[in-house]
Structure 1
Amino acid sequence: MSTGEKLIQMVIAIALFFAIVAAILLLTQRFRSRRGELVQAAGFVLPATILIALGLLYPAIKTIYLSFRDSYSTKFVGLDNYKTIFTSKAELTVLGNTAMWVIITPIAATLIGLVYAVLVDHARMERLAKALIFLPMAISLVGASIIWKFVYDPRIGLLDAITGKVGLGSDHVWYANPSAHPWNNIWLIVILIWVQTGFAMTVLSAAIKAIPTDIVEAARLDGVGGFKMFRYITVPSIRPTVVVVLTTITITTLKAFDIIQTISAGGAYHTSVLAYEFYFQAFKAFNSGLSAALAVLIFVLVLPIVIYNVRQMRKADAR
């Protein structure tokens, strides 16, 4: 599709939007009462509600329905797909890998980002230091995976060069070792931590700068400094932000797919996680029932985190 065709489509879409708004206004302008205002409001809300129902609600219901069907969606199998997830050796490995990702990634990325934000706060080259740690956020996960694939390469990789220089040998198989199941995942987790640390640092740095100066000055007058300042003043003051960062990175981790697909040849060497397993079952194994059950499980795991996050933000706004 040429640039001119794209421009024409954009103009048509904008014109269509204004035409719909104008039609709603013309149809509802005669209503001047309270009931008329409700009709006018419904005229604007109803199209969006219909689109949300078609784009979100219907697919969610359809996915839940398919999770109770067999691989070809022809027969009702009850909870068999969910039973497979929690009893099959392969699926239990996927669950274990996902748990490892969800535990290590948010904690490590948030902790590194927090410590870094504190160390560079009010430093001479603060902007440059923050830009360097934030730079990986500008790279897609596919791009980051390719970069680290070269880092882990046993022949030309930077990591092997470092281990060789310090006397730890070379030609290591970092993430493709069939006998090193946990470590295969950890080397992949490092990539996501590298990317997400910049996000954590940016948000937490803004929260640190928002701490009232009178609190900090009062603590310093009382002789609080160094690690005690960090533990008793900084961390309690930014606790809601820390929770938001942790939950946001956790949700991102639960959806991890790009790294697995790019660097580990599609979950090889016991590195598959829920998001990739859902893709594999749906589009490679063509098992629609199990893939739908995996999608529902991801939704169930993410939902409490989202609810908790919303409640924390409401509490912060209420203060």
Structure 2
Amino acid sequence: MAIGPVDQLDPRLLEHRRELTGYCYRMLGSSFDAEDAVQETMVRAWRGLGDFEGRSALRSWLYRIATNVCLDQLSGRQRRALPMDLSGDPWQPVESSLAARRPGTAWVEPVLDRQVIADDADPAERAVERESIRLAFVAALQHLPPRQRAVLLLREVLRWKAEEVAQLLDTTVASVNSALQRARATMAELDGKEERPLDPDARELLERYVDAFERYDIDAFVQLLHDDATQHMPPYEMWMRGSADIATWMLGPGAGCRNSRVFPIEANGQPAVVQYRPVNEGGHVPWAVHVLDVVDGKVAGITSFLDEGNGLFERLGLPARLAPGEAWV
């Protein structure tokens, strides 16, 4: 891919970059693959920009290019998943459970809200966008065949008309409607749990989560969890169910997280934190991005995306290290 054209992008292309990143993230389940897909989309668009005039036509054209790029990327690729999707039974909170792991390409990955949602977005639009990047929704999307995935996103999230989607995919309205019906049925089975928006109670809960974690007060931490809360830790296949097992893990194999520094962020439209673990030479290094499912005022699920040499924090634009006493930026 030539870099030159990207450095010279027309501002009309750049204004669509964030929303295209969100679309590609939902399609691909990876913020990093999404960035690559948008980069390729921009290069192709730059090369053919002279053929288009008018913002509406340009936006539709960009989505057509982005969809084709995503479909190409998804061709022959196994779907991304979360650990609970791969194993029906929870694992034991013991160190040997860490024996099974998969490469980063196997897992749905997190995305920061700021990467895909405009700061000045209308509140109602922002709520819809946050809902459509939830981990559970994005993981469920990966079960759909790629073209069904595109149809669902274009019709249900972006609110395109069936005729517009048919034109984009070079197919018929009847085919679009059929694909949408099948996609809705699959999603209803996989993603039926209702999620609530982040309200003041959730913000307070997040503050208590950060406080309990930094003090490593596991009794206080467990009080924030539902009894049947789950925890995932990609890239490991293991997952746990139950606040008691999560506490056992944190006091056992996970005890190296003691004295971590933890900061609230917004990721996947959900409450989230970033965690930096202490190192012997001083300071703290990236360890995990925790995305929380909050239901009825308590944490129902924790998905901890570990940064174990995979450059997760760097690729998300998060600090690569915190020196002793260094403030969070």
Report the TM-score, using the length of structure 2 for normalisation: 0.22
Which of the pair has the greater relative contact order for Cα pairs under 8 Å at 6+ separation?
Answer: 1
Q: TM-score, normalised by structure 1?
A: 0.23
Structure richer in helix, relative to its length: 1
